[in-house]
């Protein structure tokens, strides 16, 4: 059986795409070149089989998603992703599994222009840990703690599709299979769309390059809109009003689950990786015009206020911050 170093050489030792990699895989540590007047941005996520993804998931999709969701954290900071490391724990050396995983990981790395520069492999329950690194101009990072009362809340693209995709994967009882407007083709296409949003989410790096010029605060929606919004509110000591009629929902999610359930998925489902950000009112028109000019999604969904920690809808009804919990 091949050993650890053969595994790394066969599946993960790729040529660097960027000259910023001074020394990659092969030594005790990697060396990178940080741009002048930039700060290092670092984030890490761990995915456990059966907890963060179903055990019967397509492993190529799992690998792609594992990197994409880390890059989403970099986008939320208004930064550029550059490098990543991989810590891979496997119960056994499975050549077919490794080929699929390597293919998905390499595809995501190529799409987002990031380099794998090191990591570790070990034996144990299937666990994937990716540390993503990037850079941002000094003093320009978007934070959760710098939102202001009166800021307008925006999100990129639709919410709730990741949770809808998970429900499709498990053939949830929430599926409205009896609706007469749903042809077999329409329902099949909607299912495939929601699954694709779950399995291959888009890290909004391109949108982030515009947003960072306007936003006061930003976060990516990984654990549900309400829960992630509550992180901004806590850090900035603010409250919020959400217009639930303006929260963007996909036609596919509404077709499969109905509007009410699709909205519930958007509010508390998680696994979307869209950006949620606040913008001063005076800059909203310019932001929207630039996003439109670049063909980028942008939806106004609410406003921040001074009622610390409280989230209400447009009718004044409280909205409970809930979402995915690790413990």
Is residue 81 annotated as involved in ligand binding? no
Do residues 150 and 304 touch, judged by C-beta distance below 8 A?
Answer: yes
**Cα distance between residue 322 and residue 163, in whole Å:** 13
Strands 80-90 and 115-123: parallel
Do strands 299-305 and 152-155 pair parallel, antiparallel, or not at all (unpaired)?
A: antiparallel
Q: Are 171 and 326 in contact (CB under 8 A)?
A: no
**Is 174 marked as a binding-site residue?**
no
- The annotation status of 73 as a binding-site residue, yes or no, is yes
Compute the distance between CA of residue 241 and CA of residue 253 in angstroms, rounded to an integer: 24
Angle value at C-alpha 32, between 136 and 214, nearest 5 degrees = 10
Neighbouring-strand partners of residue 312: 241, 318
- In whole angstroms, how far apart are CA 277 and each of 152, 232, 324? 8, 9, 20
Does 324 show up as a binding residue in the annotation?
yes
Determine whether the annotation assigns residue 300 to a binding site. Answer: no
- Dihedral of CA atoms 131, 201, 245, 181 in degrees, nearest 10, equals -160
52 is in an annotated binding site: yes
Place of tokens 């930003």: 218
| Residue 151 annotated in ligand binding | no
- φ, ψ dihedrals at 304, nearest 5°: -90, 150
Q: 179: phi > 0 → left, psi -120 to 50 → alpha, else beta; which? A: beta
Residue 38 marked in a binding site? no
* Residue 259 annotated in ligand binding: no
Nearest to 60 by CA among 121, 11, 118, 116: 11
Is 222 a known ligand-binding residue? yes
The reply, when asked if residue 61 is annotated as ligand binding, is no
Can you say which residues are annotated as belonging to the binding site for substrate?
52, 271, 324
Can you say which residues are annotated as belonging to the binding site for ATP?
119-120, 144, 222
Can you say which residues are annotated as belonging to the binding site for Mg(2+)?
28, 43, 45, 73, 120, 220, 223
Can you say which residues are annotated as belonging to the binding site?
28, 43, 45, 52, 73, 119-120, 144, 220, 222-223, 271, 324
């Amino acid at each position: 059986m091949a050993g650890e170093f053969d595994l790394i050489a066969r599946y993960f030792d790729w040529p660097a795409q960027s000259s910023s990699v001074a020394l990659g895989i092969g030594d005790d540590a990697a060396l990178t070149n940080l741009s002048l007047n930039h700060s290092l941005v670092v984030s890490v996520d761990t995915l456990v089989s059966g907890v963060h993804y179903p055990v019967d998931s397509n492993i190529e999709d799992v690998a792609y998603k594992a990197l994409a969701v880390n890059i989403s954290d970099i986008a939320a900071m208004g930064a550029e992703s550059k490098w990543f490391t991989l810590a891979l724990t496997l119960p056994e050396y499975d050549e077919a599994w490794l080929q699929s995983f390597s293919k998905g990981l390499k595809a995501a790395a190529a799409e987002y222009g990031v380099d794998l520069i090191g990591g570790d492999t070990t034996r144990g329950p299937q666990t994937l840990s990716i540390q993503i690194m990037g850079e941002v101009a000094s003093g320009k990072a978007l934070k959760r703690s710098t939102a202001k009362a009166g800021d307008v809340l925006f999100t990129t693209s639709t919410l709730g599709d990741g949770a809808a995709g998970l429900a499709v994967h498990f053939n949830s009882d929430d599926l409205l299979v009896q609706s007469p407007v749903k042809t077999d083709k329409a329902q099949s296409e909607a299912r495939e769309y929601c699954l694709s949003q779950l399995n291959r989410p888009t890290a909004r790096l391109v949108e982030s390059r515009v947003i960072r010029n306007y936003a006061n605060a930003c976060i990516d929606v990984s654990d549900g809109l309400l829960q992630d919004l509550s992180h901004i509110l806590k850090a900035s000591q603010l409250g919020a009003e959400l217009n639930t009629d303006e929260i963007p929902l996909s036609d596919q999610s509404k077709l499969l689950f109905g509007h009410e359930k699709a909205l519930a998925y958007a509010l508390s489902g998680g696994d979307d990786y869209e950006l949620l950000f606040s913008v001063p009112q005076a800059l909203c028109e310019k932001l929207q015009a630039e996003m439109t000019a670049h063909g980028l999604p942008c939806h106004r969904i609410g406003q921040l206020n001074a009622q610390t920690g409280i989230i209400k809808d447009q009718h004044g009804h409280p909205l409970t911050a809930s979402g995915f919990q690790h413990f």
